[in-house]
Amino acid sequence: DKLIDNYIKQNKHRVNEKQMKSMMYQKAMSSLCQPGEAVGLVAAQSVGEPSTQMTLNTFHFAGRGEMNVTLGIPRLREILMTASQNIKTPSVTVPFLDDISNSEKKINKLRKHFTRITVADVLQYVTVTYKQDFKLEKRWVYILKFQFLPHSAYRDNTLVTPKKIIKHVERKFIKHLVYYLKSKSEKKTELIEAEDEEKLGVNYHDEGEDDEGPEDKKLNGKKNVGAVFDGYESSNEEAENEDDDATTAKRRARQNEEHQYSDLEDDIDALEDLEANQHLIKKENQEQQYEDMKESAGKLDETAGTLSTESERRSSVISSHLNVIDYRYDTVNYEWCEVWLAFKTRSDELDVSAAKLKEAASSSVIYQVAGIKRAFITTDMNGDKCLTTDGHNITELYSYGRKLNLYKLYTNDIHAVQRTYGIEAASKVLVKEIQQVFNVYGIAIDVRHLNLIADYMTWSGQYKPLSRKGLEGSTSPLQQMSFESSIGFLKSAVTRHKFESLSS
C-alpha cells in the first residue's frame, strides 16, 4: 500500500487513484497460487523442460575472460543434483575500491600476488646427458641442465625473481624431482614384473602337465578351443531352448538393471564424499604449502647471509640428497643451474624423458596463494575494474580490505558462501547461478520457480541436493517413496514407525 500511495503522489496528474489501486489489487490477487496447487511440479517442469533443450548444445567449459567456466547440464548437475562441495571451476569476483581502481601499479601488484607460478612456467628448456661412471663403482650419472626464461619474460605476471627460482630449485625442486622420477620408475618396474609373473604362471601351469602324453595335450587343446566357441557348438544342440534362454537372459538383465539403479545413488554419494574428502585434504596441503612459502620467504635474507659463497651453496645442495653428486648455477644472472644425479646399477636407471620432467616441473610450485591458480583484471557491467580469480580463498581476500570492495564480493561456490555469509546468502547465489546457466542459451525462467527450488534446498539450514541423499531428512515417507527407491524408503518408514500427515 505504501508503494502504491507513493507512486500515486508522484504521478497524481497522470494516474487515476481509484483505477490504479483496483488494478494493482487485482494483479496482486491473481498472482497468488490457489490452495492445493502443485507448485513443486510446476517449478520442476519450468527447469526440466528448458534443460532438455540444452542437451543438444551443451558444453562443459567455455572461455570467459581467459578462464574456464562450467556450463550446461554439468553445471546444473553440480548445483541441483549433487550440491557438490568441490566444483570444477570455482571463481571469485570482487571490485576494487575507487581510490585503487585508478592505480595500475597497485592493481597489477595485487594480480601478481594471486597468480600461481610453477617451475614449468619459468623453464625454457632442459638438457639431459647421461653416461656410465666406473671410477669407484659402476653407476649411471645424469647431468640435467635447467635453462630458465629471462626475467623480462615473466616479470609482468609474477612477483618471483630469478634468485627466488634458483633458491627454490636448491631447497625443494631437486628433492622433488628425484623422488618423483624414482616413484614413477618403481611403478613401471612393478608393472613389468607383474607381466613377467603372468607369463611365468602360464609356463608353470604347462610344466605341471608334463605327465600327460602328447595326445592328452592335443585333446586338452581342442577342449580349450571348443570352450572359446562354446556358444556356436551348443547352438545346434539346444535350438529348442532358444526362447527359454532368451527369456532368462532378459529377466537377468532386467534384474541387473534394477539392482544397478538402486545402487546408483549410493555409488554417486560415496564418490561425492570421496571427492569432498580429497578436496579438503588438498586444500589443507595447499594452505600448509602457503604457510611454508611465507616462512621460507622470511628466511631468505638469513639464508643469503649463511650461504653467501658458491661453494657453500653447492655443498648444501649435494648434502641434501644421496643421489646428488654435483651442483652448479649461474652466479651472475641466475638463469640456469646444473644438477648431477648418480645411481649405482642399471636397474636404477630412471626414465628421464621430456614428459616426466615436464610433469615434475608442473607439480613443483614456486609461489601460490592456497586455493587460487590465477588472477585476472576484468570489468563488470557498470564499468568498474574487478579482480577475478581462478579458484577461491575468501579468507585471504579479506586481508586486502583496503584495496578491494569486499561488500560486493561474489563467488560461484555455494558452499563457500554458506560457510562465510550464511544460508540465506547461499540461497540467493543458488538462484543467480541457475539463471546464469540458462541465460547463456537465451532461456528465461520465472524467478519464483527458482526461489521455490532454492528455498526447498536450503530450508533445513544446510545446502542439500535434490537427490535421495537430500530427501533422507524429509518428514514425509510418501514424498521419499515418490522420488525413487520406494521399497527402501518403505522399509525404513515401517521399521522406524514414521507417520504420514498428508490429507486431502
Q: Are 96 and 387 in contact (CB under 8 A)?
A: yes
User: What's the pLDDT at 292?
Assistant: 57
Share of the chain above pLDDT 90, in %: 21
What whole-number distance in Å separates Cα of residue 204 and Cα of residue 193?
16
What whole-number distance in Å separates Cα of residue 48 and Cα of residue 71?
16
Q: What's the average model confidence in pLDDT over 351-380?
A: 87
User: What's the pLDDT at 291?
Assistant: 55
User: What's the pLDDT at 295?
Assistant: 53
User: What's the pLDDT at 407?
Assistant: 92
User: What's the pLDDT at 300?
Assistant: 45
What whole-number distance in Å separates Cα of residue 104 and Cα of residue 96?
11
Q: Which range, of 104-113, 261-270, 330-339, 463-472, averages the lowest pLDDT?
A: 261-270
Question: Which residue type does 71 have?
Answer: L
More confident residue, 29 or 276: 29
Grid cell 498472482 is found at: 31
Q: Are 491 and 484 in contact (CB under 8 A)?
A: no
At 187-225, the pLDDT tens digits run: 555 555 565 555 555 444 444 444 444 444 433 443 333
At 64-119, the pLDDT tens digits run: 556 677 878 888 888 998 888 888 889 999 999 888 877 888 898 999 999 999 99
User: What's the pLDDT at 49?
Assistant: 87
Q: Is the pLDDT of residue 416 over 90?
A: yes
Domain 117-188+311-367, CATH number (from 3.50.50.60, 3.40.50.2020, 3.30.70.2850, 3.30.450.20):
3.30.70.2850
Question: HSE-up of 90 (CA within 13 Å, CB side)?
Answer: 18
User: What's the pLDDT at 425?
Assistant: 94
Give the global pTM.
0.67
At 313-360, the pLDDT tens digits run: 888 888 888 888 889 998 888 999 999 988 775 545 567 788 888 888
Q: Is the pLDDT of residue 287 over 60?
A: no
Q: What's the average model confidence in pLDDT over 406-430?
A: 93
What whole-number distance in Å separates Cα of residue 29 and Cα of residue 448?
16
Neighbour count for residue 115 (Cβ, 10 Å): 23
Question: Which residue type does 328 have?
Answer: R
More confident residue, 230 or 497: 497
Q: Which range, of 78-92, 178-192, 404-418, averages the lowest pLDDT?
A: 178-192
Q: Sign (positive/negative) of CA torsion 44, 45, 46, 47?
A: positive
Q: Is the pLDDT of residue 429 over 90?
A: yes
Q: Is the pLDDT of residue 235 over 50?
A: no
Could you state, in order of their start, the residue ranges of all structural domains in the chain? Answer: 42-89+412-473, 93-112+373-411, 117-188+311-367, 476-503
Task: Quickly name the fold that domain 42-89+412-473 has.
Answer: PTS-regulatory domain, PRD (1.10.1790)
Q: Is the pLDDT of residue 424 over 70?
A: yes
More confident residue, 36 or 265: 36
